[in-house]
Amino acid sequence: MIYKTKGTCSSAIEFEIENGILTDVKFQGGCMGNTAGVAALAIGRPIDEVIEKLSGIPCGFRGTSCPDQLSRALKLYKEEHPSGGAA
């Protein structure tokens, strides 16, 4: 799925989920070291855990951040896929 971010330096997040587990994350743009670190820490974790850990993290005065945008993308994914990505 590709999620168009809002309010961050990154413009989009592309991610894949299998059986409710985040298997791949790629940020388009943003601070490369930070987004690569967030992706590395999130991959292999259940999406609910990632949402819980990253939701609400701000970047400066923006009211959101790349990690927060990933949590929002995963929440939207869950709304669109009530099975949680189960195969």
Q: Would you give per-residue pLDDT tens digits along the chain (87 residues)? A: 999 999 999 999 999 999 999 999 999 999 999 999 999 999 999 999 999 999 999 999 989 999 999 999 999 999 999 876 554
Q: Specify the pLDDT at position 87.
A: 43
pLDDT of residue 84: 61
- Return the pLDDT at 85: 56
d(CA 39, CA 14): 10
Q: Say if CB 14 and CB 4 are below 8 A apart.
A: no
